[in-house]
A = this chain, B = another copy of it.
Amino acid sequence: MKIHKLWNDYPDLSKDLTATLVLMEKNINLSNKDVEKAILTMIHSGGKLLRPAYLLLFSQFGKDYDKDKAIALAAAMETLHTATLIHDDIVDEADIRRNLPTVQSQFGKDVAVYAGDYLFVSCFKLLADYASSLKSIQLNAKSMEKILSGELGQMDNRYDTSMTIDRYLANISGKTAELFALSCFIGAYESGCSDIFANKAKQIGSSIGITFQIIDDILDYSQTATSIGKPVLEDVKQGVYSLPLLYALKNNSQALLPYLEKREQMTDQDAEKVFQLVQENGGIEAAQALAETHTNKALKEISKLSTTTQTVKDTLYALTKQLLTRIQ
């Protein structure tokens, strides 16, 4: 089982994350081989495993830390994440994810619907079997609701050229940050940390998730024109406007609006022009500045954590810094 090279520098986490993937895989038992294959392909497509990693880290702050339990809960989080990706790709009609064909493009929408559903169920099975209390299940359900609201918010704001930065932040708070927040909370809470500590963990997770998504959106736009990733152009054509585009639009709406107002009629050439205009009109720099503010906030929150478990805190800090300064 090979995991993302990011973890080479974190040998302990690397071992536990491998065990997480093994458990996720073990939980997939289906007589329908198409759906099973679709799910396993997705599990092994090289995701970064950030949500389970943060759950594993925060669980080590607790007095009741139990590695097997932490790994099971980490598997539940990554399973949920995988489910949402598969269903998102149906909605977006995306062909490519992590440089591989998506489940919907490879196996069809019907398989993708059931594959996602199966993973939602698998997540709840893991949680119900390993969580100590109904509280984690309740929070998981609430988080799933927020994640869906974020996805739907993004859908609602399609082609909305007057979309605000706050609206963007609200959408990514649900779509991305919520599952980071939940993972950090459950890790801490289920290993016996105090409610206060667990809520701090949640807040840190949320900051990390928001920042991570902003950076992801910046990276989409900071490639050279020749290596433009297909996904970002598809997003623009589908009316999904992320932070760099929103800033560029604020800076020079005159240049961008004529392209954006074409909506569904936008051509590939138009999308490439938009991409270029975002680069030329300070979209990336402004987004980077906001990312930096959020990165500093997240790191400050971590450094303020009061704990006797200094080694774990150091790892948490180092990992977060590494992730959130990918582009600075």
Q: Which of B116, B133, B152 contacts A31 (CB 8 A)?
A: B152
Q: Give the nearest-CB partner of A93 in chain B.
A: B110
Give every chain B residue within 8 A of A32 (Cβ-Cβ): 149, 152-153, 155-156
The answer to whether B153 touches A125, judged by C-beta atoms less than 8 angstroms apart, is no
Report Cα–Cα, A209/B288, bound state, in Å: 57
Give every chain B residue within 8 A of A90 (Cβ-Cβ): 109-110, 113
The answer to whether A30 touches B149, judged by C-beta atoms less than 8 angstroms apart, is yes
Report Cα–Cα, A286/B1, bound state, in Å: 52
Total interface residues on A, CB under 8 Å, equals 38
Give every chain B residue within 8 A of A87 (Cβ-Cβ): 113-114, 117
Q: Which of B109, B118, B148, B153 contacts A121 (CB 8 A)?
A: B148
Report Cα–Cα, A35/B117, bound state, in Å: 18
16 contacts between A and B (CB under 8 A): A31-B156, A32-B155, A87-B114, A87-B117, A91-B114, A113-B116, A114-B148, A114-B155, A116-B117, A121-B144, A121-B148, A124-B137, A124-B141, A125-B138, A125-B145, A128-B141
| B-contacting residues, A214-258, CB 8 Å | none
Shortest CB distance A168–B (Å):
15
Shortest CB distance A123–B (Å):
9
Q: Which of B114, B128, B142, B148 contacts A117 (CB 8 A)?
A: B148
What does the 1/0 interface line of A25-59 toward B look like (CB < 8 Å)?
Answer: 00000111001000000000000000000000000
Does residue A16 face the partner (Cβ distance < 8 Å to B)? Answer: no
Give every chain B residue within 8 A of A113 (Cβ-Cβ): 87, 90-91, 113, 116
Does residue A134 face the partner (Cβ distance < 8 Å to B)? Answer: yes
Report Cα–Cα, A19/B240, bound state, in Å: 40
Give every chain B residue within 8 A of A144 (Cβ-Cβ): 121, 124
Other A-B pairs beyond A117-B148, A134-B137, 4, CB < 8 Å: A30-B149, A32-B152, A121-B144, A122-B145
